[in-house]
Amino acid sequence: MRGDPVPAPTTLIARDFTEFRTAVSQSFVPLHVTAGGDAFRGRIRSSAADEVQVSEVTASPHVVERTPELIARGERRYYKLSLILAGTGLLVQDDRQAVLRPGDVALYDTHRPYSLVFEEDFRTLVVMFPQRLIDLPADLVGRLTAVRMSGKEGVGNVVVPFLAQLGGNLEQLAGPAGARLAHSAVDLLSTLVATELDLAHANADPHHELMRRIRAHIDANLHAPDLTPARIAAEHFISTRHLHGLFQEQGTTVSGWIRARRLEHCRRDLLDPVHAARPVAAIAARWGFVDAAHFSRVFKTAFGRAPSELRRELTAARSA
């Protein structure tokens, strides 16, 4: 017995450019698309789990633009990562541009203007996910938009094959292992971005390595209720004031960062069938929330639903 059949990915086949232009905005975020020629063909295959969408796009030449006017229509902030599988593409954002060839990846931010130019037939894999899922400050990630990262060396040689395999098995995202696969994809992308940042800024930014160690220390100790700024500063032989200053430079606070990381781990556990029988309070305590009522309030503020509501919805969906 292999259980119920796994849902097929969504497939949109455009018979002309008008259909493709509509499909692009429906599949991702609102975009301005212009065709590069008369005869046009396009296909978008997509699947998603826990707000992580993976899409394979095959199309004729065209240009995609995310304009300030389109950005103003929505408040959700996403990162998108493109992996070129065939053909070439040009990504422009933040006064940088990256020429992407098969095996190359690049990151971009949907909350800032960008352009994608495809001058020949191409095939690309696009991973789109909320910015809060990546375990790096937005200010740091912003230094790496529209920067080519190779999938043929270093960490990229590990990450890119995983993404390519996921793109070839999109139906798995809709199955029981979907949330874990989605989280694995985002975690690998975070690792790739962090590695590229380490290489680019290790010598230029004296605070970079210290912040990397501090973030790693926080993640390793999220379970500890006494994970305070004073304790973190003492562990790294700096003053509490210096610690607060480091996080302020990156647009966040120590306490806010700890809370966000704890909440994200709690949300992942609540979504994971492996933890379906574990009480909500036990999951909260596992990640450092000792007051169940406080946890429920901050969780609802962050995600729009109380943890118990999220669990009931998931239980109903699994039994449907």
Q: How many helices (H) and strands (E) does the chain have?
A: 12, 12
pLDDT at 320: 59
Burial zone of 144 (CB within 10 Å; 0-12 exposed, 13-18 middle, 19+ buried): buried
Residues of the chain with CATH 2.60.120.10: 10-203
Calculate the alpha carbon distances from 264 to 131, 157, 219, 221 in Å: 12, 27, 11, 14
pLDDT at 94: 95
- CB-based contacts of 199: which residues, under 8 Å, 6+ apart? none
Residues of the chain with CATH 1.10.10.60: 206-319
Q: CB of 13 within 8 A of CB of 43? A: yes
**Domain covering 10-203, topology:** Jelly Rolls (2.60.120)
C-beta atoms surrounding 294 within 10 Å = 11
What's the rounded Cα separation, in Å, for the pair 171 and 8?
5
pLDDT at 1: 33
pLDDT at 278: 92
pLDDT at 177: 85
What's the rounded Cα separation, in Å, for the pair 28 and 12?
13
The CATH class of 206-319 is mainly alpha
- Residue 203 is encoded by which pair of tokens? 């010598």
**DSSP structural state of residue 226:** T
pLDDT at 201: 63
Report the chain (320 residues): mean pLDDT per 10 consecutive residues.
56 88 90 83 93 95 95 89 97 96 96 95 96 88 94 93 94 87 93 85 70 92 94 95 92 93 94 89 95 95 92 74
- N-terminal to C-terminal alpha carbon distance within the chain: 19
Alpha carbon 201 to its chain's center: 22
Burial zone of 214 (CB within 10 Å; 0-12 exposed, 13-18 middle, 19+ buried): buried
Polymer length of the chain: 320
**DSSP structural state of residue 218:** H
What's the rounded Cα separation, in Å, for the pair 22 and 67?
16
pLDDT at 2: 40
What's the rounded Cα separation, in Å, for the pair 30 and 32?
7
pLDDT at 125: 97
| 302-316 b/e (C-beta count within 10 Å ≥ 16 → b) | ebeebbeebbeebee
pLDDT at 4: 44
Q: CB of 144 within 8 A of CB of 128? A: no
